[in-house]
Structure 1
Amino acid sequence: MAKIAVIVGTVYGAAQYVAEEAKALLAGLDHEVNLFEEAKLDEVLAFHADIWLVITSTTGQGDIPDNVFPFFLDVQNRFPLLTGKHFAVIALGDSSYDTFCGAGEQFRQLLTEIQGTELAPMLRIDAGETLEPETIALPWLQQQFSS
């Protein structure tokens, strides 16, 4: 059983819904899960997670959603090392934009910089191909987190 911090970045609610469904699935797999909807770095660190799971949409020109941007900046500025810890990123976006899943890519790069180990390659979900991102995210999570 792992302790998983689910950090969500959302604009219109799709990433939030995926995060809520992910929490239920992961808890059902006997993991201890905490969902951080308005993530604060100190709170995430205090949870002592083994794995950071970032589920984020992309807004604007590849931008990180407002609800999680302060967290991103805090991680970037304080640089808490994730040595020995894992992370995974589920990115929601629209492939008709040049910055497809740009927020997820920024998180992936940052978590790699602070020495986190990527559990699996980032999952990119295209809004142009599916209206229900959870139908892609949940089987992926099941595959990554079943032991």
Structure 2
Amino acid sequence: MSTPTVFLYNLDNPRGAKIRRLCLPLGLRTALVPRESYGLPLGELAAGKQPEAPYGGEGFDDEMMVLSDCPGRLLDLLLQSFRRNKVAPVHLKAVLTSTNREWDSVALHAELCREREAIRAGQAAAHPQKPL
């Protein structure tokens, strides 16, 4: 099994540094994903491959986190650490799976945004606004 790794997008900043510090005591390796690697399939990114040519498409500016080779208990500990240290969650997060490992970062970002919007729409339908 490979080293559990957290891939961080758009977190090359002080907030990302806090998240990287949360990962250290848990034995989670972290990697900042540069925009040039957005076109690389996630499975290849996790394997440490570099893109043959830099990604030239539009990217995205949202923060995103992808966990690779991270057992469920370790994921739970990481999320607890976010709460315990009062670090706001990264809203777009995923675990590398056999389904998404062929996707590139942009495709995963689009899917996570669709899922987030579907959840918001479902919550809005379940809790409609009362008329004034």
Interval containing the TM-score (normalised by the shorter chain): 0.3 to 0.5
- TM-score calculated relative to the size of structure 1: 0.31
- Which structure has the larger Rg over C-alpha atoms? 2
- TM-score calculated relative to the size of structure 2: 0.33
Q: Give the number of the structure whose residues are more often helix, by fraction.
A: 2
Q: Give the number of the structure whose residues are more often strand, by fraction.
A: 1
Q: Highest relative contact order (Cα 8 Å, sep 6+), 1 or 2?
A: 2
